Each structure stands twice: as C-alpha cells, then as structure tokens.
C-alpha cells in the first residue's frame, strides 16, 4: 500500500497550479525550458526582406550588360571583365551569406520561465506575491514581460515578444528580426559588403560613362543609359547604407549597442546606491522625476561614460575575434557570431568612478531644488 499523502495546511481551490518543467542546464548556464515565448510572424513581415533581396539583385542585369558591351565588345579587356565579374559577385554572395545568418539564426535566446500568474491589468498575482523579494528593476536582473532572468545588456523586444541577449535593435528590413549577440557581426558584415558592392559598381560605371561621353561613336547607344542608372544607384546606396555601416563601425569601436548609444537615461540603472536621505530621488533614479538640469547632467555624462569600452583592439576582438587558425576566413565570408556567452562582459575600469560622480551631482542638484 502506498503511503498516504499529507493534507496541505492551505489550499486554494480557484488557483490552478502548474507543474514546473524539469530543469535542463546542458546548453545554458541558466535555467532552460522547452519553449520560448515569441510572437508569430505574419506573411507581411517578410515583404521588406523580399524588397531588400530585390534591391541587391536588381542592378545585376544592367551590370552584366555594361560589362559585356564595354569591356568585351568595346575595349576588348577580357581580364578586366573577369576581375569585375569576380569582385561584384563575390561581394554579392558574401552579403547574401550574412543576410541569411541574420534572418535564420536566433539573435540570442534568453531563457524564459512560464508565467507565474500576473494579471493582465498589471496587478500582482498571488503566486508572484508569495515569491522571494527580487529587485525587478535592477539592470540585468529580471524581465517583467517574460518573467525570466534578464542578463546584463539584454533587452525585451516588444515586437518579438521576448528578451534578446545584447540586443542592438529590431530590424524590419531583415524579416522583422532582432539584431543581437549571435547576429550582430553578420549584420555589420552585411552592411559593409553592401557598401563595398555599391562603391565598386558606382566606380566602374562612372568610369565607363566617362568614356562614353568622350567617345560617343565608339559605344552602343543603350550602354550609357545602363551606366548612368548604375552610377546613380551605386552612389545612393553608398550614401544610405554606407552611413549605417559607418555608424555601426563606430559602435563596435566604442563597444556600444544602438540602444545604449541612443538612450542616455539607461545610465540611471547602473548608478551606485544613493544616500538614503537628503533627496527626493528614487534608487535608482527614474527619468520622469528628473529636472531639466539633472537631465542635462545625464545626457552630458552619456558621452563620456562608456560602460563596456575596454580599448579599440579589445572592443573589435569581442565582436570579430576568432579562436581557430582559419577563423578569419569565416569572419571575412559571412561575419559569424560574437564570441562569449552574451551574458557577461568586461567593463570599463573608469566607468564606476564616473557613475559615482554622476550620482553625486544628481543628488546635489536635487538638494538645491
């Protein structure tokens, strides 16, 4: 006869208890569960991605026409024709390779824990109220949307309905995906390849167009039209995509994500503990309660306090470094993924001192109000 189960001291008939799934720590240093809470994509989310691929492939018919007519039939430059063909299609395949990685690879899963019963209107559920005291607002501690641990530099994406490790931004042009820890090198690689491809096409097209203006009777009458369209498209793509590529090269150099760079008040979550009395600020301070002068202090400090800037070489090594002998080939071809686990990052040794100084100035201004 099986032993009789003891009767619980308290029972809640209206509360449906869920059995916690077994822990699986074989693939992650934190708790892992079977499913991640993500939002289902619709077919229209992939329309911008189709447009992106179309814009990459659209110049190639005119490019082939120009290369054949100008370099083979007019200039009789077989070697240059082959060189231009190899360079343009190598850059195209490299860009498409990194694009596939950005679309297919998970940007960085933060393990989710099943919901613990919070109400939809924001009220705290009974199970949540009985939990141990957890600092839900501390950086890198907890996500109230996913109800799961949130590592350092991870953020919750409202479009995807999940947290992403070292989230950079949500990109609708790549199939409505997030760019994060495991896809950021491929994203930067994609921008650089598109920029180089646009520059290359613009240069060879402008050179051929210049020859057509100086020798109008030596070329086919339709070839300058293709050369003019390619030159214009190449210059526009260079200015637009090149600006994004330059911006992300700058972010890699200072070891910041887009969210960290454009959100100065994110520094407030990293401030040291404030004095318990003598001010009216929360700990950590909240953006809405800051005065104009305090906001200016935070924005001015944002340009100087770079939490994860550990030097130019080490910053680039965190993103594009490799451990194997031929790892640079993989980086060169498709960008790959960032090294590390995406949860722990070395910090700027001077950041704590600057954050303490910012906290002191905020409290001093608040006392003078």
pLDDT tens profile 60-116: 999 999 999 998 999 889 999 999 999 999 999 999 999 999 999 999 988 644 444
Per-residue pLDDT tens digits for 41-67: 788 889 999 999 999 999 999 999 999
- Which among 239, 255, 271 is the end of a domain? 255
The answer to whether position 32 is within a domain reads no
Average pLDDT over residues 195-215: 95
Q: Are residues 57 and 164 in the same domain?
A: yes
Q: Do 326 and 199 lie in a common domain?
A: no
Compare 87 and 131 and report the one with higher pLDDT: 87
Q: How many other C-beta atoms lie within 10 A of the C-beta of residue 90? A: 13
Domain boundary among 255, 273, 304: 255
pLDDT band at 258 (very low <50, low <70, confident <90, very high): very high
Instruction: Please tell me whether residues 251 and 305 are part of one structural domain.
Output: no
Residue 216 and residue 363 in one domain: no
Of 263, 260, 269, which Cα lies nearest the Cα of 138? 269
Helix, strand, or coil (residue 332): helix
Are 186 and 331 in the same domain? no
Residue pair 36/112 in contact (Cβ under 8 Å)? The answer is yes
> What percent of the chain stands above pLDDT 70?
81
Number of domains observed in the structure of the chain: 2
Of 96, 56, 100, 98, the C-alpha closest to 320 is 98
The pTM assigned to this predicted structure is 0.81
For residue 146, what are the CA distances in angstroms to 36, 150, 168?
9, 9, 18
Separation of alpha carbons 355 and 339, rounded Å: 27
Quickly list DSSP for 246-275.
Answer: HHHHHHHHHT--HHHHH-GGGGGGGPPPPP
Contact 98, 189 (CB under 8 A): yes
Domain contains 180: yes
Q: What is the average pLDDT across 273-289?
A: 85
pLDDT at residue 140 in the model: 52
Query: According to the model, what pLDDT value does residue 26 have?
Result: 43
Residue 16 has pLDDT above 90, yes or no: no
- What average pLDDT does the segment 309-318 reach? 94
Nearest Cα to Cα of residue 188 among 239, 259, 241:
241
Is the per-residue pLDDT at 129 higher than 60?
Answer: no
For residue 266, give its domain range: 261-368
Q: In which band, very low, low, confident or very high, does the pLDDT at 13 lie, cut at 50, 70 and 90? A: low
Which tens digits make up the pLDDT trace of 134-187? 455 555 577 888 888 888 899 999 888 889 999 999 999 999 999 999 999 999
Q: Identify whether 10 is part of a domain.
A: no
Domain end point (choices 221, 255, 289): 255
Q: Answer yes or no: is 28 within a domain.
A: no
324 and 235 in a single domain? The answer is no
Are 179 and 324 members of one domain?
A: no
Answer whether residue 79 is part of any domain. yes
Task: Tell me: do 292 and 357 sit in the same domain.
Answer: yes
């Amino acid at each position: 006869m099986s032993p009789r189960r003891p009767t619980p001291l308290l029972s809640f008939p209206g509360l449906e208890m869920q059995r916690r799934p077994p822990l699986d720590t074989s693939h992650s240093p934190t708790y892992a569960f079977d499913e991640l809470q993500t939002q289902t994509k619709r077919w229209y989310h992939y329309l911008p991605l189709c447009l992106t691929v179309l814009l990459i492939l659209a110049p190639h018919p005119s490019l082939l026409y120009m290369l054949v007519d100008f370099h083979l039939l007019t200039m009789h430059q077989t070697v240059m024709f082959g060189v231009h063909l190899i360079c343009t299609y190598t850059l195209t395949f490299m860009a498409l390779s990194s694009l596939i990685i950005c679309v297919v690879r998970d940007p960085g899963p933060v393990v989710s824990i099943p919901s613990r019963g919070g109400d939809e209107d924001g009220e705290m559920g009974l199970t949540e109220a009985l939990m141990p005291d957890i600092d839900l607002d501390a950086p890198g501690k907890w996500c109230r949307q996913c109800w799961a641990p949130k590592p350092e530099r991870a953020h919750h994406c409202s479009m995807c309905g999940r947290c992403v490790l070292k989230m950079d931004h949500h990109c609708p042009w790549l199939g409505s995906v997030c760019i994060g820890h495991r896809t950021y090198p491929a994203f930067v690689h994609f921008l650089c390849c598109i920029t180089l491809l646009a520059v290359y096409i613009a240069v060879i097209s402008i050179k051929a167009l210049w020859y057509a203006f100086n020798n109008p009777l030596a070329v086919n009458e339709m070839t300058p039209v293709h050369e003019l369209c390619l030159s214009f498209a190449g210059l526009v793509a260079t200015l637009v995509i090149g600006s994004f590529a330059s911006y992300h090269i700058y972010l890699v150099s200072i070891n910041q994500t887009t969210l960290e760079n454009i959100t100065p008040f994110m520094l407030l979550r990293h401030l040291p503990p404030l004095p318990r009395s003598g001010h009216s600020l929360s700990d950590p301070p909240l953006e809405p309660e800051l005065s104009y002068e305090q906001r200016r202090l935070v924005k001015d400090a944002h340009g100087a306090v770079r939490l994860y800037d550990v030097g130019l070489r080490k910053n680039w090594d965190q993103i594009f470094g490799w451990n194997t002998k031929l790892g640079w080939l993989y980086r060169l071809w498709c960008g790959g993924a960032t090294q590390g686990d995406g949860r722990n990052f070395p910090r700027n040794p001077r950041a704590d001192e600057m954050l303490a100084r910012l906290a002191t100035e905020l409290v001093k201004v608040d006392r003078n109000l």
